[in-house]
Chain A
Amino acid sequence: MILNMGPQHPSTHGVLRLILEIDGETVVRLMPDIGYLHTGIEKTCEAKFYQQVVPLTDRIDYLCPMTNNLCYALAVEKLLGLEIPPKAQWLRVMMNELTRINSHLVWLGTHAMDIGALTVFLYCFREREDVLRLFEAISGQRMMTSYFRIGGVALEPPLGFFDRVREFANRFPSKVDEYENLLTGNPIWMMRTKGVARISAEDAIALGASGPTLRGSGVDFDLRRDMPYSSYEKFKFKVPVSQEGDVFARYICRVQELRESTAIVQQALDGMPEGPIKADAPKVVLPDREKMKTQMEAMIYHFKIITEGFAVPAGEVYQAVESPRGEMGYYVVSDGTAKPYRVHMRAACLANLQLLPKMCEGRLLADVVAAIGSIDIVLGEIDR
């Protein structure tokens, strides 16, 4: 029987359509059908200036908007040859890890809810609310912050911001203990997730999986540690790896990542350097608002950057970062003008989705729901 797990479905985490061929309760074949959220972002980027693309990048993987910003900003800064001041880099790391916590909280809440543990959903969103308030404090926006700009970050953190982050980071590990208390040793959770949707390391590498989906199968690779960017090499953190390759293993990886991200945030707070938050490049980075109101050169730079953009030397760059879902990459091609010639987003979830047929064929229908949750897909990234 051909069953359509349609684009509107509470467990598909977005507008994902799965065409299932089932025999009783067993899935014989599975085929994802995507494209329901395709908005042509890559084409739109070719019509905008480099700095105008930044808000578009927020909306690609809408659960980790700052990670998208970071990847694009790093790519364009590489094209330009800009040096980013240390304070901006550390702020980027701190906000990036808070974004990772945010994304994993949504994953945990929705994944547990799909399998039936409804309490976890509200617990996770209670913590997520605190982080969203932090984002609003620093950038004015809860989700699509566009906080990382080309050349640094947009705004100085307000007074008292770091104390609020410290207070959150001190409180959060006990909350992770609460979630683990509810789930990790729970017999129902273990029966629904252990041994389900297993994938081997060779298959995961061959099919292009990355992030916790890859690390859950035993492959110890994390872009933050192995190919560091934005001063991640200065931070000490463990990379959780599980060996079994099933849903439970990926769950353990991500929950441990919640703790590791909190540790990175603590380190960032302890060692936050002083200094400017934007690079010294008047033709690229907007001048300080107060300077713009009083100095003529700053006014002219502001005008020229907004109306004409800045020309980026010709070339191409592929920059990859470790997003909560895996390797997110931006391939930016410049032809020397103020508008990018081609921007391509390598979506971690598009490659991870290729694992789904292999994970689910031959298994029960209910396991498909667990498998989708464990890959942690975001359709915004898949479809762009």
Chain B
Amino acid sequence: MPLTPAITDLEALKEHPAVARLRGWNSAAVEGAKFDRDEMTIYIERSCLHDACVILRDDVSCAFNYLSDVTCVDWYPSQPRFEMVYQLLSIANKERVRLKVRLSADSPVVETVTSVWPAANYFEREVFDLFGIRFTGHPYLRRIQMPEDWEGHPLRKDYPVEGYR
């Protein structure tokens, strides 16, 4: 399927059920949206993340009851440095949507979504371990892949591929 240019204009995408529902609740929560390669991405403002997730899970037209993935991308040295990525799936509607939250380097903190989807537990621990992003309210935020006494966050872009040891 040959590539078509991405649609990044929020006004052009406001009919999508997730975008419409979130903007109807709080138009400041949606910082932007993108439709590229048949995939919908919504940029959420950091403080609204938890409530936005509850709406997307419980709303009948969206019904994103399944959290596929939680991960992070480090855009060092650009600012805002970190971008949290949440992949949601609606089992009933067979639709996916991607939520993104931008975090700055001096405050890489975001609220956990384990109270919305308990599936986020290990995924958020992994992001904490490998990127150093703190999740407030997480039931057990400890390192999961690296040993407990490891220093540094390996998947950050300023951490060398070959490591320090």
| Residue B6 CB within 8 A of the other chain | yes
Range class of the B interface residue count: 35 or more
For chain A residues 30-79, which have a beta carbon within 8 Å of chain B? 34-35, 38, 40, 42-44, 46-47, 78-79
Across the interface, do A83 and B2 meet the contact criterion of CB distance under 8 Å? yes
* B-side contacts of A329, CB under 8 Å: 68-69, 87
A81-B1, A219-B91, A341-B73 are known; give 16 further A-B pairs, CB within 8 A.
A38-B145, A47-B161, A205-B91, A206-B65, A206-B118, A313-B3, A315-B36, A316-B36, A317-B39, A333-B73, A342-B74, A346-B71, A350-B123, A350-B126, A351-B119, A354-B118
* A-side contacts of B119, CB under 8 Å: 206-208, 351, 354
Q: How far is the CB of A48 from chain B (nearest CB, A)?
A: 10
* B-side contacts of A333, CB under 8 Å: 73
With A35-B144, A205-B91, A331-B85 already in contact, the answer to whether A43 and B155 are too (CB < 8 A) is: yes
Using a CB–CB cutoff of 8 Å, the interface residues on chain B facing chain A are 1-3, 6, 36-39, 41, 65-69, 71, 73-74, 85, 87, 89, 91, 94, 96, 98, 117-123, 126, 130, 143-147, 154-155, 159, 161, 163
Dominant SS among interface residues on chain A: mixed
Bound together, the chains give a CA A318 to CA B98 distance in angstroms of: 9
Q: How far is the CB of A52 from chain B (nearest CB, A)?
A: 13
Q: Which residue of B lies closest to A34 (CB)?
A: B144
Bound together, the chains give a CA A263 to CA B87 distance in angstroms of: 32
Across the interface, do A40 and B123 meet the contact criterion of CB distance under 8 Å? no
* A-side contacts of B143, CB under 8 Å: 35
Bound together, the chains give a CA A315 to CA B87 distance in angstroms of: 15
Across the interface, do B68 and A38 meet the contact criterion of CB distance under 8 Å? no
Across the interface, do A315 and B1 meet the contact criterion of CB distance under 8 Å? no
* A-side contacts of B120, CB under 8 Å: 208
* B-side contacts of A34, CB under 8 Å: 144-145
Bound together, the chains give a CA A176 to CA B143 distance in angstroms of: 42
Closest 5 A/B residue pairs (Cβ) = A208-B119, A81-B3, A35-B145, A346-B69, A38-B145
Across the interface, do A318 and B145 meet the contact criterion of CB distance under 8 Å? no
* B-side contacts of A80, CB under 8 Å: 3
* B-side contacts of A44, CB under 8 Å: 161
For chain A residues 288-303, which have a beta carbon within 8 Å of chain B? none
With A331-B85, A354-B118 already in contact, the answer to whether A208 and B67 are too (CB < 8 A) is: yes
Question: Can you report 9 A-B residue pairs in the complex whose CB atoms are below 8 A from each other?
Answer: A43-B155, A46-B161, A81-B2, A205-B91, A313-B3, A317-B39, A327-B89, A344-B71, A354-B122
Across the interface, do A318 and B3 meet the contact criterion of CB distance under 8 Å? no
Across the interface, do A351 and B122 meet the contact criterion of CB distance under 8 Å? yes
Bound together, the chains give a CA A346 to CA B36 distance in angstroms of: 20
* B-side contacts of A207, CB under 8 Å: 118-119
* B-side contacts of A219, CB under 8 Å: 91
* B-side contacts of A227, CB under 8 Å: 94, 96
* A-side contacts of B1, CB under 8 Å: 78, 81, 83
* B-side contacts of A351, CB under 8 Å: 119, 122-123
Q: Which residue of A lies closest to B130 (CB)?
A: A42
Query: Which of B98, B146, B161 has the most CB atoms of chain A within a 10 A radius of its CB?
Result: B161
Q: Which residue of B lies closest to A327 (CB)?
A: B68
* B-side contacts of A221, CB under 8 Å: 91
For chain A residues 330-347, which have a beta carbon within 8 Å of chain B? 331, 333, 341-342, 344, 346
| Residue A169 CB within 8 A of the other chain | no
Bound together, the chains give a CA A208 to CA B69 distance in angstroms of: 9
* B-side contacts of A383, CB under 8 Å: 145
